[in-house]
Amino acid sequence: MTKVHNFSAGPGILPAEVLKQAAEACLNFDNLNLSLLEISHRSKSFEKVMDESRELVKELLGLNEHYQVLFLGGGASLQFAMVPYNLLRTDGTAGYVNTGVWANKAIKEAKMIGNTVVVASSEDKKFTYIPKGFDIPASLDYLHITSNNTIYGTQIKSFPKTTVPLVCDMSSDIFSRYVNGNDFGLIYAGAQKNMGPAGATMIAVDERLLGKTGRKMLSMLDYSVHIKGGSMYNTPPVFPIYVSMLTMKWLKNNGGIAWIEKKNNEKAATLYSEIDRNSMFKGTTEVSDRSNMNVTFVMTKPELEAEFDKLTKEANLSGLRGHRDVGGYRASLYNALPLESVNVLVEVMQAFEKKFA
């Protein structure tokens, strides 16, 4: 089978061995002679999967005993509403940092739940940088940030220091670098970038923050209900959770966060070095805020995009076109993408420069 280099922004690339194990489980899971897709989520075999998944999250994020881990449906977009619904008091205020499309959507949902203020924004420069040094009111119920911005290619390198509970959408860089999970009141992440297929969202929440909003809670939107139900208040997304567990085991068995952070740094440095060197391309974000997960760039001669696209196709490079809102190119360097794929892209960029510069 022809090797395809998958730079898709999401759903993103997964480890080959994980895909193989997941495929096998679809035919015969846990030697039951039943498919993972048809067993009961209440079976002991799947309960083991759920328990191991939660423990792996706690281990990889270094979480202490105050944290509960959930796997829910609805994507990170549902968390835009669940976070303020569970953490924003009826007479309180939530703070948000606006760094792009997804942060903007989170702000929109929060404003429908209660009083919400934007404490910092990079909209003035089309989200090409990460705001820094802004004031964080001590009275906030929480401060919401987005650690990595897939569309614009920016990433928070140093998280705000605050006594306010920090809430972070880590959908596109979860488990890609070291973070101390205990520095956050709540972390959430859609699975389909670095964990698994679309359909499951991981939430790690300090349970001491819950039950203080002063509102009557709808059961399906109440973190406490899902915690009590072990993420099984309703039927969980079994397959995405299982694949997420396999991916976390793959990460742990290969050396964990320290191992993958080193690899991710090498991949990003390789590609950014070529973008900065190559006369045919230029980056789109502030250098200090460049994302290690989503590398965004444009051509210095946009009229030649079709020629570059032709070369990438011939080299079996997939998923490189930028988001429809910004255009250009975006190479997503998620955990499972090997350095080999980045090197192939760099070779194509060099060949392009040689031919057209």
Active site (catalytic) residues: 102, 169, 193
When computed from its CA atoms, the radius of gyration of the chain, rounded to whole angstroms, is 21
At a CB cut-off of 8 Å and minimum separation 6, what does 46 contact? 36, 39, 40, 238, 242
Q: What is the DSSP letter of 165?
A: P
Contact between 264 and 176 (Cβ < 8 Å): yes
Closest CA to 99 of 147, 143, 48: 147
- Round to whole Å and give the CA distance between 219 and 216: 9
- Round to whole Å and give the CA distance between 85 and 65: 23
308 three-class SS: helix
The token duo for 122 is: 């990079």
- Round to whole Å and give the CA distance between 101 and 167: 17
CA distances from 329 to 274, 283, 298 (A): 14, 10, 6
33 three-class SS: coil
Contact between 291 and 157 (Cβ < 8 Å): no
- With both helix axes pointing from N to C terminus, report the angle between 256-277 and 238-253 in degrees, rounded to the nearest 10: 90
